[in-house]
Chain A
């Protein structure tokens, strides 16, 4: 099977869907002539031309809103945000308009827009560029949010997102862009709302999404090698819809749960996951649910400290041992 980087997998998803459906267009800052701020869209302008791959001004409320409006008429825009942090200046368009219009029109209007881009800390760029808004956005019914952790999932989820008739927000991670993995050539999608057991185990369930999955897999290896513990890692992949069954099935097997995310702890994704586990599998738990999140402060600039702020394999191991105690 071909090996692609996470970046190449996203590009492949866009290329295939642009070939499949002429209504798919790419828009964003520096996506065309510049070939993408992270080179995700490299070569797409050359292949599809300026009518399909469109550079926008730095004007997120304007161009995201324009994409929302165009999607109501059947265009399928794939909008790139250079950082999901920049979505905050387009919040009205992303939440009020894209998220509410189907409901407020009694189901008359659909909004098949995709907004994608990196949403992560850990890159030494300070608080304004390091937001992870998946929990905040997934809190709005009408919106779907996915957070791929691997090249395979990045391609499959983005393809599913582009075909989806509702707004889907794809949160990538700049630190993962160079990660490589097997990605099949043939057409496939990863259904939105299906979690994936990335590692099977029997003693502890770790639930994670995005780059926290990679961190948790590293922690699982340490736990096995150094502590003889068998850890199962559940990758949510999709925040809303959420695959409750896969989480609960794993917890019923291991009876212990540790939740890992790069969000700040307050109202994070894992607050909801913890609620679901205690609500639906309370009697299965042999220990309180553990959590590892980013340290609760605006993202710090200083690189060595930012590495401490974000969950690391060492912190996950430490928290896992507490849940296992």
Chain B
């Protein structure tokens, strides 16, 4: 164990601590023939590519909309991390659920939320997925087993553990994927969730999307750990694994093992998936003080998960250059149309400010038990 957490007086940005084996993941994936991937059809593989491309183009369109001044507040981009959401979520079944932090657009599109309502939400429009009441950090689609979209770092971990508890209590064979960033692992709520999940044998999978930086603080400056963040799971008697988040096949393979463990044994897992974000923590982060431009460039050029998947599928003869072009063109057009839809949508009404607070208030007279003044002047 190193004492690197004590060396806080670093003069220059510290490098990422991703394991050596994950630093040059280009080339054919060792997990292509894994049982989780063996059954993928050509169409499935193209679909996975399409889903990553849609997320990428949606967010690139978001940047433009943000720069046009149409998106307020925070905008935390997922660009560079697409293989994590797409890979993990692509192995789930109908009783499997997910919950995540505020970098939540990729997961939303992957579970099938439509670009129009997602884009409109960013602009605070009434047609947004949360009627303009949640914003970028608070997307929800319970009909798609997607429970948000949570703004407070690590606060979703107990909630996701509760979802897993509810599944077990109801006798459903399912699990809950709880996504968080590397910055969340030092929050007490996360450790309390670990303990409960392990203690009560809950079907939950904690996924640390380790992009190396909790906002502007590198892992080296934020976290004392026994060699990896996931290894902390051992302290709770949980299984854990490290995953190359630039390799879609590997993400799928290792997630599938954890899902099986959850389904069959009701046991939790911690997966640390190494990934990288190309943009700042949010659009409000000028991204100039804590990491080298060269580092970003290196990831973009050599380890981009979409490019690597594209290469993999071109080699397999599943994709062609023409198909790549048409998929990207369609995704870009979909994103542009979503932006147009958001532009044309109305803002919520003033009356709506006091709606959707209480079920009982919104359903007055229908089996409600509350009386009295519930919303004050």
Interface residues of A, Cβ cutoff 8 Å to B:
25, 51, 56-57, 59, 61-75, 92-93, 96-97, 101-110, 141-142, 144, 160, 163-166, 189, 191-195, 238, 240-245, 272
Contact = CB atoms under 8 A, between A and B. Distances in A.
Contact of A106 (B131, B192, B359): B131
B159 A69 contact: yes
Given A61-B189, A102-B359, A110-B359, A66 B158 contact: yes
Contact of B372 (A59, A75, A110, A193): A193
Contacts of B360: 164-166
Interface string B160-182: 11110111011000000000000
Contacts of A192: 369-372
A106 B356 contact: yes
Nearest to A98: B159
Contact of A104 (B140, B158, B355): B140
Contacts of B363: 165
Contact of A70 (B138, B162, B193): B162
Interface residues on B, range: 35 or more
A57 B373 contact: no
B152 interface: yes
Contacts of B372: 192-195, 238, 241-245
Contacts of A64: 158
B280 interface: no
A106 B129 contact: yes
B195 interface: yes
B142 A105 contact: yes
A101 B148 contact: yes
Given A96-B152, A102-B357, A191-B370, A68 B129 contact: no
Contacts of B167: 73
A107 B140 CA distance: 10
B28 interface: no
A165 B359 contact: yes
Contact of B162 (A66, A160, A243): A66
9 contacts: A64-B158, A66-B159, A102-B359, A103-B357, A108-B140, A110-B359, A165-B359, A193-B370, A242-B373
A62 B357 contact: no
B120 to A, nearest CB: 11
B133 A106 contact: yes
A204 to B, nearest CB: 23
A190 to B, nearest CB: 9
Given A74-B166, A108-B141, 8 more contacts: A59-B196, A68-B159, A73-B166, A73-B167, A103-B133, A106-B133, A108-B140, A193-B373
